[in-house]
Chain A
Amino acid sequence: DSGVTQTPKHLITATGQRVTLRCSPRSGDLSVYWYQQSLDQGLQFLIQYYNGEERAKGNILERFSAQQFPDLHSELNLSSLELGDSALYFCASSEGPAGDTQYFGPGTRLTVL
């Protein structure tokens, strides 16, 4: 167990809807990363927050947004959902802003019907 938690484990919703995924980092870690893992795209980096501030952006759609709260937990908001958004969404955390080992959460499986 890496200490990173994610809720919910599974989420089933319909196209056009909006969902929020939650991640709590390991104790002491200030960075949170979000990744999308789909069958055809592999593991894609979406966005990173460090100590409440956006640190880096990857292949994140405009329909998606994220934030990190003062208690360091993070939420990934996905809106106007499309069938292609169905994937596993992983959160990872690390101690510092860059160059550290990342510890992954168990993931949230999102199914858009």
Chain B
Amino acid sequence: AQRVTQPEKLLSVFKGAPVELKCNYSYSGSPELFWYVQYSRQRLQLLLRHISRESIKGFTADLNKGETSFHLKKPFAQEEDSAMYYCALKAHGQNFVFGPGTRLSVLP
């Protein structure tokens, strides 16, 4: 069965510092990986997906199949990045599996 782990429940960094939110998955095939973000009082929304290889709001994520990881990175965190971040996996023909989430707090 597919599984997504996000080891950090809470991550606090100072504004301007680099940030990395960890995501590891277990799946033997080739999954699609996603990062979703939930800002305070807002709905969950897609941040980025690995197949598009894009940078959104300064965030990037690289799929590392060897380490089965899809860590989310940003070189300089901003206060408005404070939110709940969910890593999600979708195997072919299967439904989304979400990680438990990491709450990012960017301190001034």
Which residues of A come within 8 Å of B, CB atoms? 2, 4, 33, 35, 42-45, 48, 56, 58, 90, 92, 98-99, 101-107
B interface residues with partner A (beta carbon < 8 Å): 32, 34, 36, 42-46, 49, 86, 90, 92-101
Name the CB-closest residue of B to A6.
B43
Give the contacting residue for A56; candidates B92, B95, B98; CB below 8 A. B95
Asked whether, in the complex, the Cβ of B96 is within 8 Å of the Cβ of A42, the reply is: no
Q: Nearest residue in B to A4 (C-beta to C-beta)?
A: B43
- Quick check: B43 and A2 within 8 Å, CB to CB? yes
Q: When the two chains form their complex, are residues A42 and B101 in contact, meaning their CB atoms are under 8 A apart?
A: yes
Cα separation A92 to B101 with both chains bound (whole Å): 18
Cα A66 to Cα B100 with chains together (Å): 24
